[in-house]
């Protein structure tokens, strides 16, 4: 109760400087009051006052004495990442992943299962809620859920948390995902496209840290990209920036799930690899995939990737052709957007260098030399965890923003 009032009290007229001091510790890694003053350019007295408010609210804790630079050693301040718990879910076309996270975006209790997103929001979100309930039951008694973060495999209007005409999610258009969870957990909820969330995970806790302009590409069943511009996620006017999977890549008679012909993901995505792999298995052109089929195994994108890595020539051709098409599309993105880093994640990226080397060749072959001089193209190191971590950072960054702290926090903190 007392701490709830202390947090609510933060949301007064000093909110901007309170958040500056908090961010100096939480994001920039400053540990002492003099360092915070340098980072924030606030006066020492202001820093001392705001830090005292944040300590009373339980968001900062006082640590041991820091290193002395002549005078009295300053006392270290630490961000109290354990102050609250975030529930996070990363929904793919065929999977659900859930976890709890602390306020520093560290994931615990992660668990996942297969799920079919086309079964619709009531079915899928009810299952996510059951998994969340199990996570909440396992939390210590004094833990509070401060927020919920959800990534969805389609375009999302970020301001409302509603999916917008998602091509692979029948029944989800306009569904109020935010209210579904807000009413259950009495906590604010943020929802975004899964690839945006993964880009945020890499930006705040992965290889993209320190980069200002980043493209994160996910090649799962489909293909999508999350864009980071000047250190911030670029969602676009309606939340569908980076939807590169439906770029037309030349003449094609292959129809995409969106109804158009010749989309990148219809030719190069995981669904396409599985489809073409099955054909190679049936025709016997790929001995490895034919063997999989004969053994009663399903031929999926992953089996094509595995066969390619085992040296099966026909499977290798499929994988490298996917990489070449993706690289061609990315060359256009590079000329248009000029990123310093492209990270490639999703199941197909598990082909590693076999895939990345072809993407690099195609990008370098068709981009402006100036745009590629310092461009790195790498495999996403967070892989599966990027979505969960990103969902946590999405929530924490919103909660601990001036607008987030200005909301009434009593409901979050009074059990
Ligand atoms: Zn399409």
CA of 263 from ligand 1 middle (Å) equals 5
Residue 69 has what pLDDT? 67
CA of 47 from ligand 1 middle (Å) equals 52
CA of 302 from ligand 1 middle (Å) equals 21
CA of 315 from ligand 1 middle (Å) equals 24
Judge whether 364 and 376 are in contact, CB under 8 Å. no
CA of 49 from ligand 1 middle (Å) equals 54
CA of 248 from ligand 1 middle (Å) equals 8
| Of residues 92, 93, 90, the one with CA closest to residue 101 | 90
CA of 244 from ligand 1 middle (Å) equals 9
Residue 67 has what pLDDT? 67
CA of 270 from ligand 1 middle (Å) equals 13
Q: Which residue, chain included where needed, has tokens 């599985």? A: 274
CA of 241 from ligand 1 middle (Å) equals 15
CA of 238 from ligand 1 middle (Å) equals 18
Judge whether 322 and 273 are in contact, CB under 8 Å. yes
CA of 288 from ligand 1 middle (Å) equals 30
Domains 84-200+386-413 and 209-381 share a fold: yes
Residue 412 has what pLDDT? 43
Judge whether 190 and 170 are in contact, CB under 8 Å. no
Please report, for residues 23, 157, 248, 257, 337, the alpha-carbon distance to residue 332 in angstroms, rounded to integers and kept in the order given: 36, 25, 12, 23, 8
CA of 260 from ligand 1 middle (Å) equals 5
Question: Is domain 209-381 given the CATH code 3.30.420.40 in the classification?
Answer: yes
* Cα–Cα dist 85/101, whole Å: 6
Residue 207 has what pLDDT? 87
CA of 15 from ligand 1 middle (Å) equals 44
Percent pLDDT > 70 in the chain is 94
CA 52 to chain centre: 33
CA of 75 from ligand 1 middle (Å) equals 56
Burial of 336 by CB count in 10 Å (0-12 exposed, 13-18 middle, 19+ buried)?
exposed
Judge whether 313 and 301 are in contact, CB under 8 Å. no
Please report, for residues 13, 33, 184, 404, the alpha-carbon distance to residue 52 in angstroms, rounded to integers and kept in the order given: 16, 11, 33, 20
CA of 215 from ligand 1 middle (Å) equals 20
CB within 8 A of 104, min separation 6: which ones?
Answer: 26, 79, 81, 396
Structural tokens at position 360: 């690099």
Q: Where along the chain do its domains lie?
A: 2-79, 84-200+386-413, 209-381
CA of 271 from ligand 1 middle (Å) equals 12
CA of 349 from ligand 1 middle (Å) equals 20
CA of 166 from ligand 1 middle (Å) equals 11
CA of 264 from ligand 1 middle (Å) equals 7
Residue 403 has what pLDDT? 84
Residue 410 has what pLDDT? 44
CATH code of domain 84-200+386-413: 3.30.420.40
CA of 247 from ligand 1 middle (Å) equals 7
CA of 261 from ligand 1 middle (Å) equals 7
CA of 265 from ligand 1 middle (Å) equals 7
CA of 401 from ligand 1 middle (Å) equals 36
CA of 257 from ligand 1 middle (Å) equals 6
Q: Count how many Cα atoms sit within 13 Å of the Cα of residue 87 in the half-sphere of its side chain.
A: 27
pLDDT values of the chain reduced to their tens digit, one per residue, 415 residues: 455 556 666 767 788 999 999 999 998 889 899 999 999 999 999 999 999 999 988 899 998 776 666 677 778 999 999 999 999 999 988 899 999 999 999 999 999 999 999 999 999 999 999 999 999 999 988 788 999 999 998 889 998 999 988 877 889 999 999 999 999 999 999 999 999 999 999 998 888 988 999 999 999 888 999 999 999 999 888 778 898 999 999 778 899 988 899 999 999 999 999 999 999 999 999 999 999 999 999 999 999 999 999 999 999 999 999 999 999 999 999 999 999 999 999 888 888 999 999 999 999 988 888 888 889 999 987 766 889 999 999 999 999 988 888 774 444 443 3
Pairing label, strands 156-157, 214-219: unpaired
CA of 342 from ligand 1 middle (Å) equals 22
H helical segments located in 338-401: 353-366, 369-372, 385-399
CA of 165 from ligand 1 middle (Å) equals 13
Q: How many CB atoms lie within 10 A of CB 84?
A: 25
Question: Is domain 2-79 given the CATH code 1.10.10.10 in the classification?
Answer: yes
CA of 25 from ligand 1 middle (Å) equals 44
């Amino acid at each position: 109760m007392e701490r709830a009032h202390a947090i609510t009290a933060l949301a007064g007229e000093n909110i901007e400087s309170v958040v500056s001091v908090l961010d100096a510790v939480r994001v920039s890694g400053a540990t002492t009051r003099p360092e915070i003053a340098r980072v924030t350019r606030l006066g020492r007295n202001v820093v001392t006052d705001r830090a005292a408010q944040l300590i009373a609210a339980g968001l900062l804790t006082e640590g041991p004495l820091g290193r002395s630079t002549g005078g009295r050693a300053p006392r270290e301040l630490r961000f109290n990442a354990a102050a609250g718990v975030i529930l996070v879910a990363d929904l793919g076309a065929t999977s659900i992943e859930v976890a709890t996270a602390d306020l520093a975006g560290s994931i615990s209790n992660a668990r996942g299962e297969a799920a079919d997103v086309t079964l619709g929001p009531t079915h899928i979100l009810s299952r996510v809620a059951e998994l969340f309930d199990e996570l909440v039951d396992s939390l210590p008694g004094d833990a509070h859920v401060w927020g919920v973060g959800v990534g969805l495999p389609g375009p999302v209007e970020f301001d409302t948390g509603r999916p917008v005409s998602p091509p692979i999610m029948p029944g989800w258009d306009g569904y109020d995902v935010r209210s579904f969870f807000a009413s259950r957990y009495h906590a604010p909820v943020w929802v975004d496209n899964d690839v945006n969330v993964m880009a945020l995970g890499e930006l705040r806790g992965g290889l993209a840290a320190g980069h200002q302009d980043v493209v994160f590409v996910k090649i799962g069943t489909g293909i999508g990209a999350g864009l980071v511009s000047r250190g911030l996620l670029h969602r676009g006017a309606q939340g569908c920036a980076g939807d590169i999977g439906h770029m037309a890549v030349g003449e094609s008679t292959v129809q995409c799930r969106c109804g158009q012909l010749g989309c990148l993901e219809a030719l190069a995505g995981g669904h396409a690899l599985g489809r073409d792999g099955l054909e190679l298995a049936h025709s016997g052109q790929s001995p490895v995939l034919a063997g999989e089929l004969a053994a009663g195994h399903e031929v999926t994108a992953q089996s094509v990737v595995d066969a390619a890595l085992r040296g099966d020539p026909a499977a290798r051709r499929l994988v490298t052709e996917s990489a070449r098409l993706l690289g061609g599309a990315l060359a256009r993105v590079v000329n248009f957007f000029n990123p310093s880093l492209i990270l490639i994640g999703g199941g197909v990226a598990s082909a590693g260098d076999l895939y990345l080397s072809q993407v690099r060749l195609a990008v370098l072959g068709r981009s402006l030399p100036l745009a590629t001089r310092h461009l790195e193209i790498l495999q996403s190191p967070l892989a599966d965890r990027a979505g969960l971590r990103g969902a946590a950072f999405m929530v924490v960054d919103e909660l601990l923003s001036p607008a987030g702290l200005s909301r009434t926090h009593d409901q979050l903190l009074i059990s």
